[in-house]
Amino acid sequence: MTTPQRTALAACNLCEAICGLELTIEDRPEGPKVVSIRGNAEDPLSRGHICPKGVALADVYDDPDRLRRPVKRVGDDWVEIGWDEALDLTADGLSRALNEHGRDAIGIYFGNPNAHSLGAQTHGSGMIRSLRTRNKFSASSVDQIPHQFVAWQLFGHQLMIPIADIDRTSYFLVFGANPMASNGSLMTTPDFPNRLRELKKRGGRMVVFDPRRTETAKVADEHHFVHPGTDAVVLLAMVHVLFEEGLTTPPSYVREIESVRLAVADFTPEYAAEASGVPADVIRRIARELAAADGAAVYGRMGLSTQGFGSICQWAIQCLNILTGNFDKEGGVLFTEPAIDIVGKGIIGRGHFDIWRSRVRQAPEFGGELPVSTLREEIETPGDGQIRAMLTVAGNPVLSTPDGKRLGDAFDGLDFMAAVDIYLNETTRHADVVLPPTTALERDQYDLVFHTFAVRNTARFTPAVFEKPEGALDDWEIFREIALRTAARLDRKKPLRKAVTERARLSVSPRTLVTGLLLAGRRTTMRALRATPAGVDLGPLRPTMPGRLQTRDKLIHLAPDQVIADLPRLRESIATPAGDELLLIGRRHQSDNNSWMHNSVRLTRGKPRHQLLMHPDDLEARGLIDGTSVRVASRVGTVTTEVRATDDMMPGVVSLPHGYGHQQDGVRMANASKVAGVSINDLTDPERLDVSGNAALNGVPVTVVPV
Ligand SMILES: Nc1nc2c(c(=O)[nH]1)N[C@H]1C(S)=C(S)[C@@H](COP(=O)(O)OP(=O)(O)OC[C@H]3O[C@@H](n4cnc5c(=O)[nH]c(N)nc54)[C@H](O)[C@@H]3O)O[C@H]1N2
Ligand SMILES: Nc1nc2c(c(=O)[nH]1)N[C@H]1C(S)=C(S)[C@@H](COP(=O)(O)OP(=O)(O)OC[C@H]3O[C@@H](n4cnc5c(=O)[nH]c(N)nc54)[C@H](O)[C@@H]3O)O[C@H]1N2
Ligand code: SF4
Ligand SMILES: [Mo]
């Protein structure tokens, strides 16, 4: 007898592409089983796209390693406990730190999957605020803070990030991004391969700058190697050429153009060529092509934002878009008009900078967060304001932030640590209690974040595919309970009436909130979205300037002080010779998902991909042999791993993926021994920061020697 099958629509929450999926489900006696997953061709944004990770979404749901009930640490063991006990333990630990040591005694780290969960978006910031601390950290400062820092200064809001109009552009200039593997970031572009094919069919071109000949570089019309960390001078030299050759056509609402001209005056193509390895004539030609193209978009991502000059890079990119007349133009870069407008409606604040600083290093906050590179010293350095208790939510900073392993050691010195997470991993294993929420298929999803960064305006509400298992909690319910139970234990209790309104506010479900926000936005309704579960198409990106600008005078001031002031540091860094060290950069693979999908057997099958990639000439110069073990050392640490020779690497540059280096001790991962590799973040350096406070994960000087 065959088990009856049914289909259900789901939204993939594993990367920024937010693909629509169609699941085939068998309702077996022991419970529902997803038997296959494919892309939903009806989805107006993802158009049927799916990648290997999307297929593995069901593995998370089924994974025996995944936590389904809270656990607490008893000696070296983990014991399952009930929710009440777990939430009380958490509130006890957090409130004790607050009561005994003051408001900054709690440290909070929010990881990447929070951006992909509706409940985390609607209720996360409420919980964080209730804990009052200034010691707030997140994965943003190992990721995209330079984009936000520049958007805040140029456009008046940290999330006003111009999106490349990939579906209509005729010239796509890409620095330090690998959308063929990542499916785009701060540019939600599901089905990038087909979108690129269409671009080429229109006669368009893609040009890529990357120190590795990546999957994206290989399908580009043109690829140029660039020395890690020197993109800023290449971009500024392109701006220089625009002025030199009279190619600037900025819109009327842009000011301070003369200041930009002066700032880039000595960044000549010849100077840039010497620093970056990109020939001066290439820099000149591309600047001219940008100005001449009928719709060109300049885009730079992780390779640019996580280097020492991420903010200068992101600023220079916007200068190129704006000065060539490609800003707010079809085929250039445009702002989205999402059905729920988190920018225009002020749901997320504009941003601010340096209103306070970290206690030990005096690093400025951005948007209320401190650089995660300063977290360890805030835990380890005694004194007023020292972090005594930690709460991590959907993050694995031991593998994902600089000098991560030592951060893990620091966690062991805390009075208390709680983690909201679905796995016992390198980070959560240091906690006293772990609280696992429901996962993607068990909760409603509306993407508040990534519709804002998508290459087309669409809206989609996906109800939970599976009912919440008996006794399980969604992340927003966990946040509500942590907030309320901790508040109830504080020495100076809030008046009761306030606690009641607080409970009421935190008890409104994400679905209800979305319904209200859609009404206010007037572009579509929950009813319409329920009737069209594949998603509603709201059309291509449109010009919205200057009306949508969030700057107070509705003008763009193109020469922001905080970025211009960093130019001397750039010049100095270029003057310093690199010696005979190699520069380490990161990479992503299509079948890896930051640090957390390695429990999936289907994603970890096949050839190992953890190796250090190195150019054959660099191997030879060191007497190294392809495939053997090497010792890689930086200022911060040393790791031993295998080296793989490939001329896809620029000579002088080596690459390791992040999210590897799983610890077998205390981590629940049946697959752990099958996933080789080391953590790149045992080499990256918490002292290397961009002016925005973002970590400079790329371009780390290392030496490589035989073992
Ligand atoms: N060297 C180097 N370092 C990097 C990068 C790099 O390119 N190079 N990339 C950086 C970038 S861009 C990012 S975004 C960060 C990511 O850094 P993090 O956000 O710190 O780490 P993730 O690997 O995304 O870990 C996600 C965690 O969330 C848990 N999780 C998954 N789903 C859920 C859920 O629904 N709810 C809850 N509560 N938990 C869940 C997983 O078990 C895992 O522990 O890494 C950064 N680190
Ligand atoms: N399959 C998969 N997809 C993902 C993720 C994943 O883990 N796996 N993670 C998601 C997340 S959280 C993010 S933030 C996005 C990131 O999306 P992308 O930014 O597209 O992804 P990366 O692979 O980090 O690309 C960075 C590129 O920069 C290059 N690079 C390094 N240093 C430099 C430099 O100094 N200059 C230049 N020009 N290039 C440099 C690297 O070689 C690499 O090709 O991907 C998302 N999508
Ligand atoms: S590209 Fe893959 S991981 Fe990203 S949303 Fe689509 S299916 Fe999920
Ligand atoms: Mo990221």
Return phi, psi of residue 408, to 5°: -60, -45
Q: Residue 128 C-alpha to ligand 2 middle, in angstroms?
A: 29
Q: Is residue 188 packed enough to be buried (19+ CB in 10 Å), middle (13-18) or exposed (0-12)?
A: buried
Q: Whose structure tokens read 């169609």? A: 22
Q: Are strands 222-224 and 205-209 parallel, antiparallel or unpaired?
A: parallel
**Cα–Cα distance between 148 and 154 in angstroms, integer?**
10
User: What per-residue confidence (pLDDT) applies to 344?
Assistant: 87
The two structure tokens encoding residue 247 = 């190619």
Mutate-to-test residue for ligand 3 from 9, 13, 15, highest number of ligand atoms within 8 A of CB: 15
Mutate-to-test residue for ligand 2 from 302, 400, 683, 700, highest number of ligand atoms within 8 A of CB: 302
Residue 138, number of CB atoms within 10 A of its CB: 26
Q: Are strands 416-420 and 433-435 parallel, antiparallel or unpaired?
A: parallel
Mutate-to-test residue for ligand 1 from 108, 393, 400, highest number of ligand atoms within 8 A of CB: 400
**Cα–Cα distance between 426 and 542 in angstroms, integer?**
44
Answer whether 583's CB lies under 8 Å from 702's CB: yes
Answer whether 277's CB lies under 8 Å from 299's CB: no
DSSP assigned state of 484: H
Answer whether 82's CB lies under 8 Å from 363's CB: no
Match domain 577-706 to its CATH number in 2.40.40.20, 2.60.40.150, 2.40.160.20, 1.10.1200.10: 2.40.40.20
Q: Is 425 in the pocket of ligand 1 (CB under 6 A)?
A: yes
- Residue type for position 640: T
Say if domain 71-143+343-538 classifies as CATH 3.50.50.60: no
User: What per-residue confidence (pLDDT) applies to 574?
Assistant: 81
Q: Is 426 in the pocket of ligand 1 (CB under 6 A)?
A: no
Mean pLDDT by 10-residue block, N- to C-terminus, for the chain (707 residues)? 89 98 95 96 98 97 97 95 98 97 97 98 95 96 98 98 98 98 97 98 98 98 97 98 98 98 98 97 98 98 98 98 98 98 92 98 98 98 97 98 98 98 97 98 98 98 96 97 95 70 89 97 96 98 97 97 97 75 97 97 94 98 97 98 98 98 90 92 98 98 96
Q: Collapsing DSSP states into helix, strand and coil, what is residue 328? A: coil
Mutate-to-test residue for ligand 3 from 23, 38, 50, 450, highest number of ligand atoms within 8 A of CB: 50
Closest CA to 688 of 679, 674, 698, 680: 698
Q: Which ligand is nearest to the CA of 658?
A: 1
Q: Whose structure tokens read 């295998």? A: 642
The two structure tokens encoding residue 637 = 């640490």
Residue 273, number of CB atoms within 10 A of its CB: 18
User: What per-residue confidence (pLDDT) applies to 1?
Assistant: 63
Cis ω before 546 (30° cut-off from 0): yes
DSSP 486-554: HHHTSSSPPPHHHHHHHHHHHHS-HHHHHHHHHHHHTS--HHHHHH-TT-EEEEE----TTTT--STTS
Say if domain 5-62 classifies as CATH 3.30.200.210: yes
Q: Is residue 218 packed enough to be buried (19+ CB in 10 Å), middle (13-18) or exposed (0-12)?
A: exposed
What angle (nearest 5°) sits at the alpha carbon of residue 40, between those of residues 36 and 41? 130
Atom of ligand 3 minimally distant from the CA of 14: 3
**Cα–Cα distance between 519 and 511 in angstroms, integer?**
12
Match domain 165-335+552-567 to its CATH number in 3.30.1330.60, 1.10.3720.10, 3.40.50.300, 3.40.228.10: 3.40.228.10
Per-residue buried b or exposed e for 79-105, using 16+ beta carbons within 10 Å of the residue's own CB: eebebeebbbbbbbbbbbbbeebeebb
Q: Which residues contact 585 (CB under 8 A, 6 or more apart)?
A: 211, 212, 228, 303, 653, 654, 655, 698, 699
Domain with CATH 2.40.40.20 in the chain: 577-706
pTM score > 0.95 for this model?
yes
**Cα–Cα distance between 472 and 492 in angstroms, integer?**
32
**Cα–Cα distance between 278 and 69 in angstroms, integer?**
54
User: What per-residue confidence (pLDDT) applies to 494?
Assistant: 58
Q: Whose structure tokens read 């990542």? A: 182
Answer whether 235's CB lies under 8 Å from 207's CB: no
Q: Residue 301 C-alpha to ligand 4 middle, in angstroms?
A: 10
**Cα–Cα distance between 445 and 427 in angstroms, integer?**
26
Q: Whose structure tokens read 């009440």? A: 84
Q: Residue 669 C-alpha to ligand 2 middle, in angstroms?
A: 25
What angle (nearest 5°) sits at the alpha carbon of residue 602, between those of residues 600 and 605? 110
**Cα–Cα distance between 144 and 695 in angstroms, integer?**
10
Q: Is 15 in the pocket of ligand 2 (CB under 6 A)?
A: yes
Q: Is 588 in the pocket of ligand 2 (CB under 6 A)?
A: yes
User: What per-residue confidence (pLDDT) applies to 410?
Assistant: 98
Q: Which residues contact 479 (CB under 8 A, 6 or more apart)?
A: 119, 120, 123, 124, 126, 127, 420, 506
The two structure tokens encoding residue 644 = 């793989």
Q: Collapsing DSSP states into helix, strand and coil, what is residue 132? A: coil
Nearest CA to ligand 2 atom 24: 302
Atom of ligand 1 minimally distant from the CA of 440: 35
Q: Are strands 353-357 and 364-366 parallel, antiparallel or unpaired?
A: antiparallel
Q: Whose structure tokens read 């942590």? A: 482
Atom of ligand 1 minimally distant from the CA of 697: 1
**Cα–Cα distance between 491 and 509 in angstroms, integer?**
29
In terms of DSSP H, where are the helices of 359-403? 375-380, 397-400
User: What per-residue confidence (pLDDT) applies to 665?
Assistant: 84
Q: Collapsing DSSP states into helix, strand and coil, what is residue 602? A: helix
Q: Collapsing DSSP states into helix, strand and coil, what is residue 260? A: helix
Helix (H) or strand (E) holding 470: none
Q: Residue 434 C-alpha to ligand 1 middle, in angstroms?
A: 16
Q: Residue 76 C-alpha to ligand 3 middle, in angstroms?
A: 37
Domain with CATH 3.40.50.740 in the chain: 71-143+343-538
Atom of ligand 2 minimally distant from the CA of 587: 23
User: What per-residue confidence (pLDDT) applies to 131?
Assistant: 93
Return phi, psi of residue 289, to 5°: -65, -40
Domain with CATH 3.30.200.210 in the chain: 5-62
SS3 content of the chain, % helix, strand, coil (to 5): 35, 20, 45
What Cα–Cα distance (Å) separates residue 606 from each residue in 21, 595, 603, 644, 674?
25, 18, 8, 16, 11
Domain with CATH 3.40.228.10 in the chain: 165-335+552-567
Ligand 3 binding pocket (C-beta < 6 A) is 12, 14-15, 17-19, 49-51, 53-54, 183, 190
Q: Which ligand is nearest to the CA of 235?
A: 2
User: What per-residue confidence (pLDDT) applies to 493?
Assistant: 63
Residue 472, number of CB atoms within 10 A of its CB: 17
The two structure tokens encoding residue 578 = 């690199």
